[in-house]
Chains A and B, each alone.
Chain A
Amino acid sequence: MKIIKKFEVPYLQILDETGKIVSKREMPKLSKEELKKLYYLMVLSRAFDEESILLQRQGRIYTYASLYGQEAAQVGSAYALEKDDIAFPSFREHGVYLTRGAKPEALFLYHKGDERGASSKDVNVFMPSIPVGSQIPHATGAGMAFAYQKKKAAAIGYFGDGSTSKGDFHEAMNFAGVFNAHTVFLCQNNQFAISLPVAEQTEAETIAQKAIAYGFKGIRVDGNDILAVYKATKDALTEAYTGKPTLIECLTYRMGDHTTSDDASKYRKPEEAKKHEKFDPLLRFKKYLIKAKILTEAEGKKIQEQVKKEVEEGVKSFEAMKPYPAEDIINYLFEKLPDELIPELDEIKKIAEESK
């Protein structure tokens, strides 16, 4: 027997957990302003997350999936996107929406059970996909469309470690390879699919290596290192524009429960999550920014205050919104509602009118 092929899985870390640059060579080209913007977006994502959990506990929004601990993976990757790129997220990617310019009020609104919050114009983030992994083929298809249109744009599919067990993931990756799709696959390996640890999800040592089977590059990055995530995504996008997909595995950790309906202490010792606090993506980035004299403590405080105000305004503004007209539950089914459904439309209108 002889070896006919050997493969490698690269790992990228730029900023270690102490806030030290460990790979200067890989440092992305980002201005001081951009670095500060990244920090602001991470703080905003966390503040939004904390507020959402609070609102859920008070019954002001419904089920919510926390992003706590995944700020670097979400903000870093989304910040790398260009205007025409589009993201296909799962239900935990609030940081992606915020980075792309969605307003907190839209995200609150969605979690209040209002379809109007699911998508925002000009943000170029598709609606969140709840059936796990089912959005990954859409990212491939969008990337195929860009290839066909010869457009300098790419699609990025967001998903978690649990998704990688699904056929959708494998079919999407395979199609992307075959059709040279302008697609980046971004897996946030937060090490849990509700209760199932990643070690029981797959026997593979890394998720990144799964790309090899489909003929393209897979890379694992420290998912709590925003500089590494940004760099890997930027490089992957550059490749994607020429029809070469990449799978990026952001190794991170879900610090919170799966959703507000979950209690992680049932299957994960609280001490275990506590241990991960020292890898907090915000902490290390702030340490770096302060040490590198990009950010002062005073500026950090100002950002906290600014973000708090933004989130509070978001709450005010979504709670002030009037419900949409009841008939809209059927009005958006088709471009033109078939005659067949007019009686149902009329009945909905009537019931809504009577209950006023």
Chain B
Amino acid sequence: MEKRGRKVLAEFAERFDLPADIVAGLPHLEMVGSREVYLEQHTGILSYSEERIDANTPAGVLRICGEKLRLTAMTAQELRVGGSIRSVEWVAL
């Protein structure tokens, strides 16, 4: 139910040109080249290793793959991952 509500809000935000991350509470993702990933509105880390980091978000699980990955900073809302990033993908559950 909650997932459906979020989808409706996301569509609403898209139609009215509103930021979906604020209106629908969707995660906001930024990348700096292949060196750093910045993720807002995560809900925790599911797995952590130097090759793979899985972060839980309201929109699903975000998988960051690469080499020498490290968690440079983490707060309740934000997550910053450094290292040599090879791929960022949404994991289908």
Chain B associates with chain A: no
CB within 8 Å of A: which residues of B? none
